[in-house]
Homo-oligomer: A and B are copies of this chain.
Amino acid sequence: MLRLATPGRQRFVQSTALEATFGGGEANVAVSLANYGMEAEFVTRLPRNDIAEWCIAELRKYGVATGNIARGGSRVGIYYLETGAVFRPSKVVYDRAGSSLAEIGPGMIDWRRVFEGAVWFHWTGITPAVSQGAADACLEAVTVASQMGLTVSCDLNFRKNLWKYGKAAGEVMPALVEKCDVIIGNEEDAEKVFGIKPASFDAEHTGGEVDGAHFEEVCRQLSAKFPRARKIALTLRGSLSADHNTWGACLWSSDGFHVSRRYDITHIVDRVGGGDSFAAGLIYGLLTRDDRAALEWAVAASALKHTISGDFNLVSVTEVDALAAGNSSGRVSR
């Protein structure tokens, strides 16, 4: 997806140029994993035009394989971003109608070939939200991945301004999520998609802190609903203002329930892609360390994302390691 963001804190109506980068849930995860030195590939559908070539070159720049992208359809999806400040929220205007991905359908991608030699498949709830065809292609991919023995993870990623093709998230997502080994979401997704919310927590009350303890019950209910899932992780964002959030996460598995350290992110540079950077951090973490360490690593990685402009979390393993180890002083490195 092409991301067109107003410079600085400008409103759309003030702008004369838009910063052009690329992003989107799954692409963001792929870039993070490539950054961490893993082989990562992004599979999607793009038209045959220069904007698509530009997108592919950017992915390649960050080390992501692009050889299985299907080509066809008429446009690259866009999202417009106006970055907020203090009480003024950032605004995302989705512009995905008629995009090549929205017009994808089953059979357009040879998932068996794509998954050959792979060990993990990750998808997000944004894809099935775009169109029936995208939901169908996603189900096809999840099914093949599952059959071929890949670990399948998903990020629920509920977006109320998508889901406009006549079905609700709650109708479409269960069939997809039930094939997942790892489920990731934020503090609101489980409620918005499946109606599962903490008993004692008012999810609307976002101005204050978000206490991880309230979410063990949410994880348990998700686990009951989707028994295949071995791990369930939820990010916990406290929105004090557009510039200042708290950030943490919890991870439930059969071994227990962990709540991470909570970061106080006082001068946010860019919070879009925060959830994706957590998902990538968790995948990397689960492949390289134990559950608790993986959770802390994923939270550190995604806390760092808030200091990077653009969707992609351009940090190294060394940088995440340093923050996960407690070095948060921001002292100049020279």
Chain A residues near B (Cβ < 8 Å)? 4, 7-21, 49-51, 53-54, 57-58, 60-63, 74-76, 78, 80, 82, 84-95, 97-98, 159-161, 206-207, 239-244, 263, 265-269, 271-272, 303-304, 306-310, 314-315, 319, 323, 327-334
Q: How far is the CB of A130 from chain B (nearest CB, A)?
A: 12
Q: How far is the CA of A58 from the CA of B57 in the complex (A)?
A: 9
Which of A4, A15, A58 has the most C-beta atoms of chain B within 10 angstroms of its own C-beta? A4
A333 and B89 within 8 A (CB): yes
The answer to whether B263 touches A87 (Cβ under 8 A) is yes
Q: For residue A323, give the distance in angstroms from its CB to the closest CB of chain B.
A: 5
Given contacts A60-B61, A328-B207, contact A14 B93 (CB under 8 A): no
Within the complex, which residue of B98, B161, B334 is in contact with A159, where a contact is CB–CB below 8 Å?
B334
A263 to chain B, nearest CB (A): 7
Q: Are A329 and B84 in contact (CB under 8 A)?
A: no
A-B residue pairs in contact (CB < 8 Å), sample of 15: A9-B269, A12-B51, A13-B61, A14-B309, A17-B17, A58-B61, A74-B95, A84-B332, A86-B268, A86-B328, A87-B328, A88-B307, A89-B329, A89-B331, A98-B98
CB-based contact A86/B266 at 8 Å:
yes
User: What chain B residues lie within 8 Å of A239 (beta carbons)?
Assistant: 329-331
Check B330 against A241 for contact (C-beta < 8 Å).
yes
- If A10-B309, A51-B12 touch, does A333 touch B90 (CB 8 Å cutoff)? yes
Shortest beta-carbon distance, A143 to chain B, in Å?
A: 29
In the complex, how many angstroms separate the beta carbon of A19 from the nearest chain B beta carbon? 5
Cβ contact of A17, chosen from B20, B76, B93, B272, cutoff 8 A: B20
B82 with A50: CB separation less than 8 A: yes
Interchain CB contact under 8 A, B50 and A328: no
Q: Considering only CB atoms, which chain B residue lies closest to A66 in the complex?
A: B63
A323 to B207, CA, bound (A): 12
User: With A and B bound together, what is the CA distance between A112 and B306 in angstroms?
Assistant: 45
Inter-subunit contact A86/B18 (CB<8 Å): no
Residues of B within 8 A of A78 (CB): 78
* CB-based contact B244/A93 at 8 Å: no
* Partner pick for A87 among B14, B85, B309, B330, CB 8 A cutoff: B330
Contacts of A14 in B (CB 8 A): 309-310, 314
17 more CB-based (< 8 A) A-B contacts, given A60-B60, A87-B323, A160-B334: A4-B20, A11-B308, A12-B50, A13-B50, A13-B53, A50-B82, A60-B61, A86-B303, A89-B330, A90-B333, A94-B334, A97-B97, A97-B98, A161-B334, A206-B329, A241-B330, A271-B332
Q: How far is the CB of A52 from chain B (nearest CB, A)?
A: 10
The closest CB in chain B to the CB of A19 belongs to B17
- Tell me the smallest distance from the CB of A104 to a CB of chain B, in Å: 14
Interface centre among A86, A94, A159, A239 (most CB of B within 10 A): A86
